[in-house]
Amino acid sequence: MEKTILEVKDLSIDYPISIGTVHAVRNVSFTLHKGEVLGLVGESGCGKSTLGLSFLRLLRAPGRVAGGSIEFEGRDIMSMKTEELRLFRGNKMAMVFQNPLTSLNPLMRIRDHFFETLKVHNVFTNRTEAEKKAGDVLERLGIDRQRLHEYPHQMSGGMRQRIMIGLGLILDPEILIADEPTTALDVIVEATFVDLLKLLKEEYNISIILISHNLAMVAEIANRIAVMYGGKIAEIGTAEQIFAEPMHPYTQGLIGCVPNINVDQESLVSMAGSPPDLVVPPPGCPFADRCPKGMDICRQKMPPMKEYRANQQTACWLYE
Amino acid sequence: MEELIRVTNLIKNFPVQKSVLDMLFSGKKQQYVHAVDDVSFSIGKGEVLGLAGESGSGKSTTGRLLLRLLEATSGSIFYDGRDISTIGKEELRRLRMKMQVVFQDPDSSLSPRMTVGQAISDPLRIQGLASGAEAKRRAIQIMEQVGLTPAEFLYRKYPHQLSGGQTQRVVLARALVTNPEFVVADEPIAMADVSVRALILELMKQLKREFNLTYLFITHDLATAKYLCDRIAIMYLGRIVEIGTKDQVFRTPHHPYTKALLQAVPVPDPKERRKDALPRGEIPSAVNPPPGCHFHPRCPFAIDPCRSGRPPLRELSPGHFSACILEP
C-alpha cells in the first residue's frame, strides 16, 4: 500500500444553533493514501460536505471542530497558524465545489482568476509567466489556452467545471477535494469529468477525496469508499467490497436503491424512515431505527468500528 | 395497444429576446430557439414512455406542450382520439382532471402557506368534484394510498414540516386526487436523495398499477428510465433521434447519440468501469443548430450526407425507429 497522506482521527464537528447543538460529524477516523481516490458517499445531511470543508479549515461559523485531529503528512492542520494555513491551502490541498457558475466571477476573465490565485499564494511573478502556467494547466485539462482571455459566460458548464479544477491544480497540490463536482453536469459531460479525474490520478499521482451522493459515478473511479450516515462512517472498504460485499445494512440498502442500467431490476430496495436528529443523536447506531436487522443492543450502544475483513471496516453489532 | 396520446409534427419555437439597440439599429432577423423541432410519437393506454436526453434537448418543453401548459407553434396533440391542441379554456380545464403533472422540485411546487390537506384537496375544489367533508375524505384516502401516514396528522401540516420524500408524495397525491388517466412526470426524482428516489420510483410503479395510469416520464437519467419505462424516446436538440421499446433502445441502440449516452451512464459496479471513448464536445445551442443531423459534429461515424438534410426516422424493426442514415 502507498503511504498515508492524510489521517483523520476521531474527528467531531458541531454546529451550535438556537435549539441546541447539531453534532454533524461524530468521531470519524480514516486515512487517505497517496495517489488514491477515496469516495465519501451518503445522503444529504450525513455530514460528508461538512467533513470535506474541515480538511481545509473552511467550516463556516458557527461550525467548529469539537474534537479529534486532521493530520497532513504528520502535521496537524487544526493547529496551523494563519500564515501556515494560507500556504497549506492550494499548495498542498485544493478544493473544487459543486457549482462552477457561482464559484467563478462573471466580471473576471478566466486568466484573472488564475492570476488572483497565484497572487494570493505569493507565487505570481509576472503576467507572461503566469499566463504560460495557467495555459499549461488548461491544456492538461483539454481546454485551448486561448480561452484564458474569455469570460465565464462564454464557456459551457462542463468547461467551467474544468476551469474550477484548473484553479485547484495551478499550485500543484497533493490532495484534491471535490464536493459533488458533477451534480450540475449532463451525463456525457459528467463522464468526461470522471475521465479527467482518472487522468489526474494516474498521471500526476494526485490523491482525491470525491464527495458525492451519486454512487454510480463514485463506482466508476474510487479505489476506496467511505459510506457516511448520521454523522458517522458506517462502513469503509475498497470499491469492490462496498459494491459486491457490503457489510453494513445501510450500505446494503443504499446500494440496492441505485438503478443499474446493465441489470434488469424487478424492484429497488425501499428504506423507510428518515435519518436521525443530530441535535439529540441516538445513543446507539444512528441507523438502528430504520435497520431491517436492528437488535436491542443497536439502539442502546454505538457499535465499534472494526476491520472484520481485510481493508473493510464497519460499525455494526451484527458482526460482533 | 389502444392509444391514449398521439402527438404529430409538434413544433415549438421561442423567440430570442433582442436588445433595444438591436431592435433600433440592426436589421438582424428575429432569431428563434428551436426547442421542439417536429416531434411525433404516441403513448398507449397504461404505458410508460420515457423521454430522455440532456439539458436543452427539449424534453421538458415537449411535456409542457402535451398538457398545453405551453402553446405549440404548430402541430397537433390528440388525447383519446380527440384533438386537444385547439380546444378552449373551459374545456381544457375539465380535461386537466384527466391529465396531471409532477415537477422536479416538490418544494417549489407547493405553496408554503397551504397545509398538506389544502394542497391535496384544492384540485377537487377547482374541478368542482367535491368540497368540505367529502373533499377531506378523498384527500385522506389518497394520502393513505401514497403512504402519507398517519394521514389525519399530516393533513394539517405545512410543507416545511415534512421531509423531502414526504413533500414529493404530497405532490403525487395532489396529482392523483382527481383520478387522472395520464401523468407527465418531469424529472420527479432529480432533486431527491438516493433512498428517497428509490421510494418514489417504487411508489410510481405501484400507483400506475392501482390507478391504471399512463405516464410520460421525463428524465436525464437513463438507468432510472430503464427501470420504470416500457418505451423510450431519446431527444437531441429538439428532435427525437431514436424511439423504441426499452429492450430495443437499450440492448440494440442504433443512433450514435443513443450509444454515446448509454456509454456515459455510470454503472454502480466497480467491476464494470467504462473504457470506451466519449463523444467530443457538448450539446450545441438550439438557436443555430448544426445543419443536417444535429449530432454530426460530434459523431465519430459522420459521413457527407449527414451534414445536410434532416435524417428521417426509419423503422429498423417493428416499433424501433432511428434518425440515423447509417446501416445498423
Q: Which of B220, B265, B278, B280 is the mutation pick for testing A, counting most A CBs within 10 A? A: B265
Average pLDDT over residues A195-215: 92
Count of H helices and E strands in chain A?
A: 11, 12
CA atoms within a 13 Å half-sphere pointing along the CA-CB vector of B300: 10
Sort strands B320-322 and B3-15 into parallel, antiparallel or unpaired: unpaired
- Which residues in chain B have their CB less than 8 angstroms from residue A262's CB? 267, 269, 272
| Residue A142 scores a pLDDT above 90 | no
| Residue B228 scores a pLDDT above 60 | yes
Average pLDDT over residues B38-58: 94
Cell numbers describing residue A144: 485551448
Average pLDDT over residues B230-256: 97
Contact B267 A220 (CB under 8 A): yes
Task: Specify the amino acid at residue A92.
Answer: K
Q: What is the pLDDT of residue B28?
A: 67
Q: What is the pLDDT of residue A315?
A: 97
Contact A43 B194 (CB under 8 A): yes
Domains and CATH numbers, chain B: 3-89+227-322 (3.40.50.300)
Average pLDDT over residues B90-109: 91
pTM: 0.90
pLDDT > 90: percent of chain A: 71
| Residue A85 scores a pLDDT above 70 | yes
Task: Search chain B and give the residue with CA nearest A224.
Answer: B270
B71-75, B88-92, B189-193, B313-317, range with the lowest pLDDT = B189-193
Q: What is the pLDDT of residue A284?
A: 95
pLDDT class of B53 with cuts at 50, 70, 90: very high
| Residue A7 scores a pLDDT above 90 | yes
CATH topology of domain A4-36+45-80+225-319: Rossmann fold (3.40.50)
pLDDT in tens, A151-204: 998 888 888 888 998 998 899 899 999 998 887 778 888 898 899 899 889 988
- Which residues in chain B have their CB less than 8 angstroms from residue A256's CB? 198
pLDDT class of B27 with cuts at 50, 70, 90: low
Q: Which of B201, B261, B267, B299 is the mutation pick for testing A, counting most A CBs within 10 A? A: B267
pLDDT in tens, A8-48: 999 999 999 998 999 999 999 999 999 999 999 999 889 99
Q: Looking up cell 430503464, which residue turns up?
A: B226
Closest CB to A262 among B165, B201, B272: B272
| Residue A100 scores a pLDDT above 80 | no
As a whole number of angstroms, the distance between CA A49 and CA A64 comes to 14
Task: Provide the mean pLDDT of chain B.
Answer: 92
CA A187 to chain B, closest CA, distance in angstroms equals 6
As a whole number of angstroms, the distance between CA B300 and CA B130 comes to 58
Q: What is the pLDDT of residue B328?
A: 67
Which SS3 state, helix, strand or coil, does residue B50 take? strand
Average pLDDT over residues B88-102: 93
Average pLDDT over residues A114-135: 92
Average pLDDT over residues A248-257: 96
Do the beta carbons of residue A218 and residue A286 sit within 8 Å? no
A169-178, B176-185, B278-287, range with the lowest pLDDT = B278-287
pLDDT class of A130 with cuts at 50, 70, 90: very high
3-state per-residue secondary structure call for B111-166 = CCCCCHHHHHHHHHHHCCCCCHHHHHHHHHHHHHHCCCCCHHHHCCCCHHHCCHHH
Report the candidate in A152, A143, A142 with the shortest Cα–Cα distance to residue A100: A152
Q: What is the pLDDT of residue A304?
A: 96
Q: What is the pLDDT of residue A274?
A: 83
Q: Which of 230-259 (A) contact B at CB < 8 A?
A: 239-240, 243-244, 253-259
Q: Which of B187, B195, B204, B298 is the mutation pick for testing A, counting most A CBs within 10 A? A: B195
Q: What is the pLDDT of residue B236?
A: 95
Q: What is the pLDDT of residue B284?
A: 82
Average pLDDT over residues B36-60: 94
| Residue A98 scores a pLDDT above 80 | no
Report the candidate in A320, A314, A145, A165 with the shortest Cα–Cα distance to residue A246: A314
Which residues lie below 8 Å from residue B133, measured CB to CB, with a gap of 6+?
none
Is this complex's ipTM strictly greater than 0.90? no
Q: What is the pLDDT of residue A41?
A: 96
CA B242 to chain A, closest CA, distance in angstroms equals 17
pLDDT class of B152 with cuts at 50, 70, 90: very high
Do the beta carbons of residue A46 and residue A20 sit within 8 Å? no
| Residue A280 scores a pLDDT above 70 | yes
Report the candidate in A221, A171, A231 with the shortest Cα–Cα distance to residue A201: A221
Which residues lie below 8 Å from residue B233, measured CB to CB, with a gap of 6+?
B41, B49, B50, B51, B52, B240, B242, B243
Looking at per-residue pLDDT, the higher value among B301 and B55 belongs to B301
Average pLDDT over residues A221-244: 97
Report the candidate in B37, B54, B60, B58 with the shortest Cα–Cα distance to residue B260: B54
Decide if A186 touches B, using CB distance below 8 A.
yes
Q: What is the pLDDT of residue B26?
A: 67
